[in-house]
Structure 1
């Protein structure tokens, strides 16, 4: 069984889990992280095979990835969590909600409901991005230092790529060029995944998609009739990974969706352990499998 995933934890309040998309890393939340840690105890996780997170020994389906995320939460002594996810991370967030592990979910451009022609386009684009990013990996560091370079690297994912941080550009390299088990995850977690049991979701779910998101196509809104009580919010001037396109709007949506849950942290089935010195003031600590 695969060990816990690599993550950072910072802030104080109700627990909030951040799940990035495939082709990125936990760095993709750099623009919203400082704002979120003012309100939440934020767990920012690298998905399996990214950063220092081990690749899965089993087939990397959405269910298997969700299992790994749950084991990581268990290891941190955290029960139910609010979740902010993007793309594949949003799909995993919805799976956690189906399992009853999520208190609330903000799902940005979740995968899973695209039709076969859209899957072909998405798969081809992801394959090309992998090849190009691996070939150009040595250039990512220098390019990340300028707004023009970051715009060139992140234009397919962001509506305002010049406004991104160097961390986000490095995150794209970690996700596309450096990730392990890229092809199996692309196949099993993205291209052949079909969500089931969405009618069992009971927590508040806000579905979000940037109007400049060509990667998700029209699949985000397709969740709306399948997830009870869910809401759909389109984001103007936002792309597929809009965390730096509209950071304050995304933070507001997380806060509003969490308030709709109305579930105090004390109701979680697992009690979080006492925080070590320095972790409740917003200072991040990083945990990685040994």
Structure 2
């Protein structure tokens, strides 16, 4: 049986590795496409200033190269924003946007506070990453370091945590993306089913602030809150992320049984 394509898009300063714990849970049901975004460690290089529009262009080109006209799309943070923009371009069968970025008023506190926090995190990682391997062996340290993006950062292994720090340090597009004047434009009639799946304990884009903006910008989208997870829910609860993505893609119980 042919499987539907599912494109998984990670957040800013991360890489395709952000999905490592989710991929095995979805691989039997979908034909997975899991790229690293342009300007991120392991992804295509960017010449000049990195923009969201350009990252979406590169991802759309990847779909073209793979011969995929439309795909189910799930994305976290920046990846959720990119998924919505791909839907706007007619490339999505469904979108599951996990705490998507871009739902802010440019220059206002709902934008400057979270992006400012992420820029400070990037500068700190740039300064101390050479000594990171030793402290990251401690689960307590991992939980503290990843506190802004996960409730249980200690669930990352030391190797995963070090990889995430290296992704952050080697993301050449980070400062451009975190200083963007772009935002998600309102979307009235949906081009496909869109789920805004907000992390209930998101410290970067709180559901009461940025989630509220999202509901106003895309009023026809299905809005749900994922309990007990932080901004990068793949760290806290991969199984719940996979289940949320399945639901957003409209995969029925019978279809899941057919793939098992």
Q: TM-score, normalised by structure 2?
A: 0.87
* Partner SS for 1:79: coil
Q: Following TM superposition, by how much is the alpha carbon of 1:129 offset from its aligned partner in structure 2, in angstroms?
A: 0.6
Q: Deviations over 1:60-111 (max 9, x none)?
A: 2222110010111212222211111111111111101111101111101111
Quote the residue 2:258 is aligned against.
none
Tell me if structure 2 keeps the 8 A contact 1:25–1:174: no
C-alpha distance in 1, partners of 2:64/2:117?
Answer: 35
Quote the residue 1:248 is aligned against.
239
Ranked by relative contact order (alpha carbons within 8 Å, sequence separation 6 or more), the top structure is 1
Distance verdict in 2 for CA 1:225–1:131, change over 3 Å: closer
Quote the residue 2:120 is aligned against.
128
C-alpha distance in 2, partners of 1:229/1:118?
Answer: 22
**Residue 257 of structure 1 is aligned with which of 235, 248, 255?**
248
Q: Following TM superposition, by how much is the alpha carbon of 1:58 offset from its aligned partner in structure 2, in angstroms?
A: 4.7
Determine if the alignment matches structure 1 residue 169 to structure 2 residue 161.
yes
Aligned length: 248
Matches within 5 A, 1:250-289: 250-259=241-250
Quote the residue 1:195 is aligned against.
184
Which structure has greater helix proportion?
A: 2
C-alpha distance in 1, partners of 2:166/2:48?
Answer: 21
Distance verdict in 2 for CA 1:15–1:250, change over 3 Å: same
**Residue 114 of structure 1 is aligned with which of 104, 115, 122?**
104
Q: Following TM superposition, by how much is the alpha carbon of 1:227 offset from its aligned partner in structure 2, in angstroms?
A: 2.6
Quote the residue 1:204 is aligned against.
193
Tell me if structure 1 keeps the 8 A contact 2:93–2:193: yes
Greater shift after overlay, 251-260 or 29-38?
A: 251-260
Cα RMSD of the aligned pairs, angstroms, is 2.2
Distance verdict in 2 for CA 1:202–1:176, change over 3 Å: same
C-alpha distance in 2, partners of 1:212/1:102?
Answer: 28
Determine if the alignment matches structure 1 residue 180 to structure 2 residue 169.
no
Q: TM-score, normalised by structure 1?
A: 0.78
C-alpha distance in 1, partners of 2:232/2:73?
Answer: 15
**Residue 31 of structure 1 is aligned with which of 21, 26, 37?**
21
* Partner SS for 1:16: strand
Quote the residue 2:227 is aligned against.
236
C-alpha distance in 1, partners of 2:40/2:165?
Answer: 10
C-alpha distance in 2, partners of 1:222/1:171?
Answer: 32
Quote the residue 1:55 is aligned against.
45
